[in-house]
Amino acid sequence: MEMKRLMIMLLCATGVALTGNASAQVKKKAAVKKKPAPAAATVKTPPPPFATDTEIEDGKNLISKLDCLACHKVDTKLVGPAYIAVSEKYPQDQATVDLLTQKIIKGGSGVWGAVPMAPHPAIAPADANKIIKYILTLKTNSHASL
């Protein structure tokens, strides 16, 4: 009788130990499972291209129809800075597109020297955006001779 009781108690104890162990393993697995999740989250989808080929092509065409080339060349300083120099000065981001769009429309001086950039109030912001995208991509593509 005593022996049987002892066996039962042992069995129970083993059972508890096993269950305990099992749940610990489940926890471990859960912890292990969690790890890949943040790693996967850091895999960023690539950003859309800064400018599409169409925008760049449109920008290039707009520049050649406007008065820009009276004062700018792609690779040589004229009255204004070479466009390649402009593209090397600024990052390819929307803030720069907005900033330089305003510069085209409103004009201004002091960034490259004392001579002012002529204002162009008749140019639509959407067109100026494309012009700037064309200019800013000069450093990274060879699209570009005017």
Quick one: which of 56, 60, 97, 103 contacts ligand HEC (CB under 6 A)? 103
Length of the chain: 146
Among residues 15, 20, 49, 108, the one that binds ligand HEC under rule CB under 6 A: 108
Residue found under tokens 């989250």: 41
> Is-contact 44 118, C-beta < 8 A?
no
Q: Which of 72, 74, 87, 144 binds ligand HEC (CB under 6 A)?
A: 72
The single residue among 50, 57, 71, 143 that binds ligand HEC, judged by CB under 6 A, is 71
Q: Which of residues 18 and 99 has its CB atom nearest to ligand HEC in the complex? A: 99
CA 7 to chain centre: 68
Site string for ligand HEC, 9-28 (x = CB under 6 A): --------------------
Q: 51 or 103: whose CB is closer to ligand HEC? A: 103
Q: Does 50 bind ligand HEC (CB under 6 A)?
A: no
Q: Determine the Cα angle at 136 with ends 131 and 141, to 5°.
A: 105
- Report the alpha-carbon angle 115-73-112, nearest 5: 30
* 124 in contact with ligand HEC (CB under 6 A): no
Phi, psi of 117 (to 5 degrees): -75, 130
CB of 105 to ligand HEC, least distance (A): 9
Helix/strand/coil for 98: helix
